[in-house]
Structure 1
Amino acid sequence: MRRPKSRAVRKQQKNNELQEIEILNEWIESQKPESGSNPLSLDPLKSKSPIGRIVDHESGAVSFSRYAGARKFHELPLSKRTKNGLEGGGFKKMTDIQVASLPHALCGRDILGAAKTGSGKTLAFVIPVLEKLHRERWGPEDGVGSIIISPTRELAGQLFDVLKTVGKHHNFSAGLLIGGRKEVDSEKERVNELNILVCTPGRLLQHMDETPNFDCSQLQVLVLDEADRILDIGFKKTLNAIVSQLPKRRQTLLFSATQTKSVQDLARLSLKDPEYISVHEKAVTATPSRLQQTAMIVPLEQKLDMLWSFIKAHLRSKILVFLSSCKEVKFVFEAFKKLRPGIPLKCLHGRMNQEKRLGIYSQFCESQSVLFSTDVASRGLDFNKAVDWVVQVDCPEDVASYIHRVGRTARYLSGGRSVLFLTPSEMKMLEKLQAAKVPIQFIKANTKRLQPVSGLLSALLVKYPDMQQLAQRAFITYLRSIYIQKDKEVFDVTKLPIDEYSASLGLPMTPKVKFLNQKEKRETKSEKSSLIEPKIYDEENESVIPKEELLVEDVKDNRGDKDFLLKDDAPYVEGNTSEIGDI
């Protein structure tokens, strides 16, 4: 057991910290970059250049080293506590978004930052939060000093882990406030004692509305991570309610993989003369350079055949598979699990409870397996930087969604691969991706090597009657997800081979899809006919399928024969990824 520090030692430590803070403030003020400048454009510091406070031995003049343009964390005006946390976490060199944003953020400026997924945005706001509170001598009695808002529970949990790592040597109290847990009452008892809150929008607003004496009036720093997505998935009103209860005098940091007009609207409401930082704005590509991306035409009725064949060819990889609805994920997971492809299978979707979702996420991080998921896994999650393949069986709703999905691989300095299945009617998406600087290569599938699975699914549905209802709901919710898409250039449900798709799921008959029947009836009427809000039904019990079931809520490899499924797929050897030449 360590002996407690004496009063003299504690006093000396306090004096040392006060002296350090004084030097840091002088350093930051004297060398702060020009507003609007891009530190990335500056040359790095020379390897043997002095860092920090520099005293001229002859004249006694005091100066400080330049920190704008620094490429390593130890070259920044950071406290010893933060530097120790960074060193303990293995963080030495900065990424582009960190080089560009940290000099501006450390001197108190508001930031609106966009960078490729997996580029290290988390440290770009965690470090300024810790340093701001440290230099303000923030303590438990000062209350909430920073709020970090994340769109999903999983991402909030990851941010909290990074905060604990880098802030390990600080004395701040921090709390993770996310929905889906029963401890809200115990949170209410302690939330006013916390200095840093990492939370989802709904849970934060709940505390603002319900927790007695919940006080954010002294807030120093507000952070919105994945800011575009917080708005996209329906948090706009919640966020406006939150911002209205926060003090106007604060530092605000907004980060995302993409910048949209809605984010800029929010920035005008809450940011003051922000630094607009987009490290990929003039880049050749909008996705990581180590990510090899391909797209291929796969008829709707062959999607499961192609997916099954792909999995069978990559039994020693970590594969993340995206489908558009919860019911699809459930059906494909249950069906393939019964068919036993020879690799562990997992599924993740927004209708799972929080504990189960986090458990599956942790398991997938630790082993080679296949994870079937809705877009709940596409935002910000870092699967230990080791996802070999991202397979998008269903087309993403837009370019931004595509970028976030493929961003689950090729994280940081790792490599990765992705493949996108497009039906013939969705080929317009390929043009949109290429126009947005996504370097995606179009390839043709070699259907001779395809392993049909439809017959096996038919037998499964006979053997397991419950699977038939699951298949029906997967069928209907997929069609519904296409029907409600806004981009009709890409998504046109009338061009889909519905009967063939039904048969590919193993269904003996095509389920009735009432919203499609309504659409056909409307098209036969005159233009004056009123439009009726469509509903969809399960053929078995005529129950309405809620919209929330459709969408999200809130290595070595087994080398197959050459040209197994795809043509012209050159081997990719850079980074920690598969070394195969074919999918």
Structure 2
Amino acid sequence: MGEAKKPQFVDLIRTIGDDDEIEDFSEESDAEVEFQPTKQKNKRKVDFDTDFQFVSSAEEYNKDSWNDLTKYVKRKAKTKTDDKIKKVLVEAPHADSDVSLSDSELKHDKIREKETRKKAAPNENFFETVDLDTEHASFYQMNLSRPLLKAISDMKFVHPTPIQASTIPVALMGRDICGCAATGTGKTAAYMLPTLERLLYRPVGGPPVTRVLVLVPTRELGVQVYQVTKQLAQFSDIQIGLAVGGLDLKAQETILRKNPDIVIATPGRLIDHLKSTPTFGLDSIEVLILDEADRMLDEYFAEQMKEIIKQCARTRQTMLFSATMTEEVESLAAVSLNKPVRLFVDSNREVAFGLRQEFVRIRQDKEGDREAILAALVCRTFREHCMVFVQTKKQAHRLHILLGLLGLKVGELHGNLTQPQRLDALQKFKETQIDVLVATDVAARGLDIQGVQTVINFVMPATVEHYIHRVGRTARAGRAGVSVSLAGEQERKIVKDVVKKAKHPVKSRVIPPDILEKYKNKLEKLEPQIAQILQEEYEERQVAKVENQVNKVEKLLKGEKGEARPWFQTKKQRKDEKKRLSLKDVPKNKSDKDKRKHKKGAKETPDERVRSEMGKVALLQAKLAKKKQKLTKINAVVDVEVGRKAGVKRKKTNFGSDLWDTKSAKKLRHEANAAKKGKVFGKPQQKKKRR
């Protein structure tokens, strides 16, 4: 007999032995990460990616949400700015430098907590105790169809977010919704999943009709909603159309003529198609969705929204969603929606929970140092997955050139670019081909870019709501993120408001003076190269302008005159609206033109550039303040009864009770008898004694 085999306890969990050394994590677990400059090398091109993974199927290999947009893009994204920057960098003597930071630049920034002075608010934490996610811990408990559940699983969605858990059941009931939740909490899936579920049971066999309309304020947000919707509907036969400005008009017309089930559009381009595209209309709209509702319902879209809603069916389901829901939107929702359900998951005045907020104070006489401070932050500490927000398109383009000449991979996103260029910049940033994206507020709303680690505000925005939208590009869906804002003396008020409302301590970052001086010298040396690139671009624009004019004249001579597309406003109405909505109402006289011509050739100083940015913010703040001073509409009838208890349901009609209710008659008799007896206001009068 051989020896008995000893049992092998392979699957058992190991226990800690007496001699084992255990690392102590008790101190490090609560320690906060400090973002300081570290030694980093420039990324070199490698032959094989270490993070490469094989996919499981050919379908997964070929699936790309960007490929579906190619049918809407007619022109290729051509930008020569990066080529000019590369040319300058190649000619520079230090172009082959391997290490990006010197030892002197590794000096740590001083970071301290800002003191908060705020009064205790007893009702401030009311919403924190409510857990809306407990009722629906899984998407499988929400009565969704199998094609949608399969798409949810394919998109790696595990548990619904609070706004999704509260919105989907209510939307499936067909109720109107006014929803508000923090940025990055999945509002797109919250309104799109119940909409797709409804479309899965649409009538089959009849002519195709458009049943759902989603309106968004910006083109980029429209493209993003389109991509998410295509992914959610990938296992169904639901047709989706995109109608946003800047993309190929003919391709959009071809798709809209087929009357897709869902149309995602910006207001201007939608009206254009309603006037020009045959067989396309909004008569059969069953669901109307307004994403970023506070932006969609402001004065800039007022006339367009009136025209669109006028053409929609009256018996529709309407859903409004935003991260910051203003009082004006709430009052409008109360009037325009049909018994709406108010779904405010959390406060609409708070930033994401995982966001670390930092501020860099700028002295009154040091406003011109903003570019140097930004360069120091981006080059030393926040080199990857960083978004920089500016107020003007001109400053965004300048920072693109400046940071590019410093050796960073930079892109820009603003209104002066063509739509293919904007989509190309967004795609490159999402795919980490560029590390820093300089953008205006066109990218501040709704965009979900995975992996954004840092948001830097070159100047503070006009309001706290704008600030919440900007910093909401990071710390999304429970992740951590950092926001760094440069704040001067004129921006102290908005900084105080942000600090008061912050749940976590706000940090103050101080860049060492010697580091700041070093970067100021760097930027001064780069000024001739920046001016050269800007001049070359200006000359190219002038040549292109002349070529376009020549082409127009040639077409006129040949008799090829293009027909003007119809619009719902006359030229005079559009001109008056543009003048009314412009930030500057001062008429331009001859002296202003002369001053502009004189300044055009002059070199702009850093202080003047910052003053221009701050001036734009001040004009926007003045307009918002003027708007708040307008008197609110007075109702002819009081809506809420005085002394009515909260939570008590009001009767729909008093017709039945009025027939047998005698309380009012008894009251009148009582008052009449009291008057006869000499009572005043219920108190008996003393009778006069007879003498």
Contact persistence 1:461–1:468 (CA under 8 A):
no
Tell me the alpha carbon deviations over residues 507-566 of structure 1, each in whole angstroms, 9 at most, x when there is no partner: xxxxxxxxxxxxxxxxxxxxxxx97669683545599xx99x979xxxxxxxxxxxxxxx
Matched letter for residue 231 of structure 1:
L
Give 1:90 deviation, angstroms. Answer: 1.3
Tell me the alpha carbon deviations over residues 93-123 of structure 1, each in whole angstroms, 9 at most, x when there is no partner: 0101111211111111011001101011011
Give 1:353 deviation, angstroms. Answer: 0.5
Matched letter for residue 293 of structure 1:
Q
Matched letter for residue 317 of structure 1:
E
1:320 to 387, 393, 412: 387
Match status 1:107 vs 2:173: yes
> Counterpart of 1:329 in 2: which secondary structure?
helix
Find the counterpart in structure 2 of residue 304 from structure 1. Answer: 371
2:283 to 217, 226, 237: 217
Match status 1:228 vs 2:294: yes
Find the counterpart in structure 1 of residue 226 from structure 2. Answer: 160
Give 1:392 deviation, angstroms. Answer: 0.5
Q: Tell me the distance in 1 between the aligned counterparts of 2:261 and 2:194.
A: 14
Q: Tell me the distance in 1 between the aligned counterparts of 2:131 and 2:244.
A: 40
Q: Tell me the distance in 2 between the aligned counterparts of 1:331 and 1:232.
A: 30
Find the counterpart in structure 2 of residue 427 from structure 1. Answer: 492
Find the counterpart in structure 1 of residue 247 from structure 2. Answer: 181
Find the counterpart in structure 2 of residue 522 from structure 1. Answer: none
Match status 1:365 vs 2:426: no
Give 1:376 deviation, angstroms. Answer: 1.3
Contact persistence 1:140–1:173 (CA under 8 A):
no
Find the counterpart in structure 2 of residue 171 from structure 1. Answer: 237
> Counterpart of 2:506 in 1: which secondary structure?
strand
Contact persistence 1:327–1:470 (CA under 8 A):
no
Tell me the alpha carbon deviations over residues 5-32 of structure 1, each in whole angstroms, 9 at most, x when there is no partner: xxxxxxxxxxxxxxxxxxxxxxxxxxxx
Contact persistence 1:114–1:278 (CA under 8 A):
yes
Find the counterpart in structure 1 of residue 160 from structure 2. Answer: 94
- CA 1:43 to 1:288, structure 2 compared with 1: closer, same or farther past 3 Å? closer
Q: Tell me the distance in 1 between the aligned counterparts of 2:195 and 2:205.
A: 14
Q: Tell me the distance in 1 between the aligned counterparts of 2:375 and 2:537.
A: 16
Find the counterpart in structure 2 of residue 330 from structure 1. Answer: 397
- CA 1:378 to 1:139, structure 2 compared with 1: closer, same or farther past 3 Å? farther
Find the counterpart in structure 2 of residue 75 from structure 1. Answer: 141
- CA 1:252 to 1:468, structure 2 compared with 1: closer, same or farther past 3 Å? closer
Contact persistence 1:138–1:145 (CA under 8 A):
no
How many residues of Structure 1 are paired with residues of Structure 2 in the alignment?
A: 426
Contact persistence 2:358–2:508 (CA under 8 A):
yes
Contact persistence 2:292–2:445 (CA under 8 A):
yes
> Counterpart of 2:422 in 1: which secondary structure?
helix
Give 1:150 deviation, angstroms. Answer: 1.0
Q: Tell me the distance in 1 between the aligned counterparts of 2:132 and 2:379.
A: 49
Find the counterpart in structure 2 of residue 377 from structure 1. Answer: 443
- CA 1:233 to 1:370, structure 2 compared with 1: closer, same or farther past 3 Å? farther
Give 1:466 deviation, angstroms. Answer: 3.9
Q: Tell me the distance in 2 between the aligned counterparts of 1:247 and 1:431.
A: 46
> Counterpart of 1:462 in 2: which secondary structure?
helix
Matched letter for residue 292 of structure 1:
R
1:85 to 139, 151, 154: 151
Give 1:442 deviation, angstroms. Answer: 4.4
Q: Tell me the distance in 1 between the aligned counterparts of 2:509 and 2:252.
A: 56
Give the alignment's TM-score, normalised by structure 2: 0.57
Residue identity over aligned pairs, in percent, reads 30
Give 1:230 deviation, angstroms. Answer: 2.2
Contact persistence 1:294–1:440 (CA under 8 A):
no
Match status 1:396 vs 2:455: no
Contact persistence 2:383–2:436 (CA under 8 A):
no
Give 1:312 deviation, angstroms. Answer: 1.7
Give 1:337 deviation, angstroms. Answer: 1.7
Give 1:381 deviation, angstroms. Answer: 1.0
Segments of structure 2 that go 5 or more residues without pairing to the other structure are 1-126, 539-584, 603-611, 618-691
Q: Tell me the distance in 1 between the aligned counterparts of 2:211 and 2:394.
A: 42
Contact persistence 2:208–2:258 (CA under 8 A):
no
Give 1:193 deviation, angstroms. Answer: 2.4
Matched letter for residue 491 of structure 2:
E
Find the counterpart in structure 2 of residue 286 from structure 1. Answer: 350
Q: Tell me the distance in 2 between the aligned counterparts of 1:42 and 1:406.
A: 25
Matched letter for residue 309 of structure 1:
A
Tell me the alpha carbon deviations over residues 25-81 of structure 1, each in whole angstroms, 9 at most, x when there is no partner: xxxxxxxxxxxxx9x957877xxxxxxxxxxxxxxxxxxxxxxx2121000011122
Question: Which sits farther off after the overlay, 172-181 or 311-320?
Answer: 311-320
Give 1:449 deviation, angstroms. Answer: 4.9
Q: Tell me the distance in 2 between the aligned counterparts of 1:272 and 1:93.
A: 30
Give 1:331 deviation, angstroms. Answer: 1.1
Contact persistence 1:326–1:550 (CA under 8 A):
no
Give 1:391 deviation, angstroms. Answer: 0.5
- CA 1:413 to 1:189, structure 2 compared with 1: closer, same or farther past 3 Å? closer
> Counterpart of 1:218 in 2: which secondary structure?
coil
Give 1:196 deviation, angstroms. Answer: 0.6
Contact persistence 2:455–2:473 (CA under 8 A):
yes
Between Structure 1 and Structure 2, whose CA radius of gyration is higher? 2
Segments of structure 1 that go 5 or more residues without pairing to the other structure are 1-37, 46-68, 473-529, 552-583
Q: Tell me the distance in 1 between the aligned counterparts of 2:254 and 2:309.
A: 20
Give 1:269 deviation, angstroms. Answer: 4.6
> Counterpart of 1:154 in 2: which secondary structure?
helix
> Counterpart of 1:193 in 2: which secondary structure?
coil
- CA 1:42 to 1:439, structure 2 compared with 1: closer, same or farther past 3 Å? closer
Q: Tell me the distance in 2 between the aligned counterparts of 1:44 and 1:465.
A: 55
Contact persistence 2:359–2:484 (CA under 8 A):
yes
Matched letter for residue 261 of structure 2:
N
Find the counterpart in structure 2 of residue 258 from structure 1. Answer: 324
Contact persistence 1:140–1:172 (CA under 8 A):
no
Question: Which sits farther off after the overlay, 453-462 or 170-179?
Answer: 453-462
Give 1:336 deviation, angstroms. Answer: 2.5
Tell me the alpha carbon deviations over residues 129-188 of structure 1, each in whole angstroms, 9 at most, x when there is no partner: 111222333667240010111111111111111111111122111111111123346515
- CA 1:181 to 1:334, structure 2 compared with 1: closer, same or farther past 3 Å? same
- CA 1:152 to 1:450, structure 2 compared with 1: closer, same or farther past 3 Å? same
Contact persistence 2:242–2:252 (CA under 8 A):
no
Tell me the alpha carbon deviations over residues 236-275 of structure 1, each in whole angstroms, 9 at most, x when there is no partner: 2111110111011011111000111332244245311111
